[in-house]
Amino acid sequence: MGLVGPNGAGKTTTLRAMAGILVPTRGTIVIAGHDMSSEPVAAKSALAYVPDDPRLFDQLTVWEHFIFIAKAYRLPDWTARAYELLATFELTDKRDALCSELSRGMRQKVAICCGYLHQPRAIMLDEPLTGLDPYGIRSMKTSIRKYASEGAAIIVSSHLLSLVEDLCTSVLVLHRGKQLMHASLGEMRQKLREDGRHESLEELFFRLTEVPTEAPPPSATAGV
């Protein structure tokens, strides 16, 4: 699912609540059958959340991050998978590099690898292409398609509507904390055809979220 909306729409807040970082004011969050409020450990064990600005441990190497994640999730026999992720995201030669020495794009790749290591059933990615080079973008897209095909539920939050249209099977449009639309891309296109519109996702997004310019409020001071 693609999660889209203007700045301040509530996309990151939604993801942080689903990840158990923020407590929602109302409603229920269930991850892989586990209620986040009553079974937080089980729910969080089934998910991966990669924020748009992932914070790594500067004094740990790339491989030490994998060791940390493996111990946190109590993973057995994880090294082969870790090496596979290093190769997929072109980090093999950075295995023993401190994360403080890595570029923004490489740090993003390390965070993504750490998220994938425990094979989560729910994956939430906030602007996952930030800082990635063309090879990294291709690897990122391929990985999203791969894990989705294997049954993982994936939410991609992005301002890149072309990415959402390319990857996602459904779209949720948020605006000012409210849901404007939630439908599969097929349903959206069918509805647009029925309405006689021939819009791209970008055109639909602007039509849904644009707010008419309001006249400025009258002056609070009166002339004397």
Domain assignment of residue 72, yes or no: yes
| pTM summary value | 0.84
Residue span of the structural domain in which 49 resides: 2-209
At 200, which amino acid appears? S
Q: What is the pLDDT of residue 211?
A: 57
Q: What is the pLDDT of residue 123?
A: 97
Q: What is the pLDDT of residue 152?
A: 95
Give whole-number Cα distances, 163 to 128, 160, 175, in Å.
10, 5, 19
Domain assignment of residue 222, yes or no: no
- Comparing 25-34, 36-45, 191-200, which segment has the lowest mean pLDDT? 191-200
Which residues make Cβ contacts (< 8 Å) with residue 184, sequence separation at least 6? 169, 170, 171
Domain assignment of residue 35, yes or no: yes
169-182 pLDDT tens trace: 999 999 988 898 89
Mean pLDDT along residues 35-56 = 94
Q: What is the CATH number of the domain that holds 154?
A: 3.40.50.300
99 in Cβ contact with 58 (< 8 Å): yes
Give whole-number Cα distances, 78 to 10, 44, 58, 206, in Å.
35, 19, 23, 44
115-152 pLDDT tens trace: 999 999 999 999 999 889 999 999 999 999 999 999 99
Q: What is the pLDDT of residue 37?
A: 93
Q: What is the pLDDT of residue 198?
A: 66
| Beta strand spans in 89-177 (E) | 122-126, 153-157, 170-175
Domain assignment of residue 6, yes or no: yes
Q: How many domains does the chain have?
A: 1
Mean pLDDT along residues 70-87 = 96
Q: How many CB atoms lie within 10 A of CB 105?
A: 17
Domain assignment of residue 97, yes or no: yes
Domain assignment of residue 101, yes or no: yes
How many helices (DSSP H) and strands (DSSP E) are in the chain?
9, 8
**What is the per-residue DSSP string for 39-104?**
-HHHHHHTEEEE-SS----TTSBHHHHHHHHHHHTT-SS-HHHHHHHHHHTT-GGGTT-BGGGS-H
